[in-house]
Amino acid sequence: YPDRLTMERAVRSAVVIAGYPWTDLAPEAVGLAFGAFTAARGDFRTAVLTAVNMGRDADTTAAVAGSLAGALHGESAIPPDWA
C-alpha cells in the first residue's frame, strides 16, 4: 500500500460486515485491530489511534491493537503522556 490511510481503508473494507448495524462483532474487532497494528507497523500510539479512527467498536479495537503493540515492544511502548 502506498500509505497507512490506504491500508486502513482496505482493511476496513475487507473486514467490516456490511449490513450489520451493530458494532459488537468479535471477528470484526479482531480483524480491524490486526489491520491497525499492521498499518502502524507495530507502533503503539499509531496502532491505537488508527484503530479508534476506523470506527465501529473502536474501544475494543483500540484495546486489542494496543495490546498487540505492547506485547511486541513492552511497557516502554506506551507514550509517557498516555501513562
Whole-angstrom distance, CA of residue 48 vs CA of residue 58: 9
H/E element, 59:
helix 58-73
- Backbone angles phi and psi of 4, in degrees to 5: -65, -40
40 touches 50 (CB < 8 A):
yes
**Binding residue positions for Mg(2+):** 57, 59-60
The residues, any chain, with a CB within 8 Å of residue 72's CB and separated by 6 or more, are: 42
Binding residues: 57, 59-60
